[in-house]
Amino acid sequence: MLAIRAVSALVRHALDHRRYMSVIPPSTKKTTIARLIDLRAANTPISVLTAYDFPTARACSAHPVDITLVGDSLAQVCLGYPSTTRLTLDEMLHHCRAVARGTTTPLLVADMPYGTYAPSPRDAVRAAVRMIQEGHAEAVKLEGGQELVPHISALTGIGIPVMAHIGLLPQRSTSLSGYRVQGRTAASAESLVRAALALEKAGAFAIVLEAMPSQLGEYITRTVKIPTIGIGAGPGTNGQVLVWDDMLGTWHGHKAKFVRHFADVRKEVERGVAAYAHAVKDRSFPNPEREGYAIDPTEWESFLHVRAQLQEPGTLTEHAEEQRPYSAASHREDSGGTEAAQPDDSRMSELDEQTGKKAELHTS
Q: Could you tell me which residues come within 8 angstroms of residue 288 by beta carbon, excluding any fewer than 6 positions away?
A: none
Question: Rg for the chain (alpha carbons), in Å?
Answer: 36
Contact assessment for residue 84 and residue 73, using Cβ atoms and an 8 Å cutoff: yes
C-alpha to C-alpha distance for 308 and 316, rounded to whole angstroms:
10
Q: What is the torsional sign of CA 269, 270, 272, 277?
A: positive
Calpha distance 145→192 (Å, rounded): 8
Q: Phi and psi dihedrals of 63, rounded to 5?
A: -100, -25
CA–CA gap between residue 104 and residue 318 (Å, rounded): 63
Query: Pick the catalytic residue: 138, 143, 200, 210?
Result: 210
Which residue type, as a one-letter code, is found at position 247?
Answer: M
Q: By the 8 A CB rule, do 219 and 230 touch?
A: no
Whether 268 is a known active-site residue: answer no
Q: Residue 46: exposed, middle, or buried by beta-carbon count in 10 A (0-12, 13-18, 19+)?
A: buried
Please tell me whether the peptide bond between 313 and the residue prior to it is cis, using omega within 30 degrees of 0. Answer: no
Q: Which of 237, 197, 200 is nearest to 216 (CA)?
A: 237
Longest dimension (CA), the chain: 141
As a whole number of angstroms, the distance between CA 7 and CA 2 comes to 9
3-class SS at 37? helix
CB-based contacts of 138, cutoff 8 Å, min separation 6: 107, 108, 109, 132, 161
Residues with catalytic roles: 210
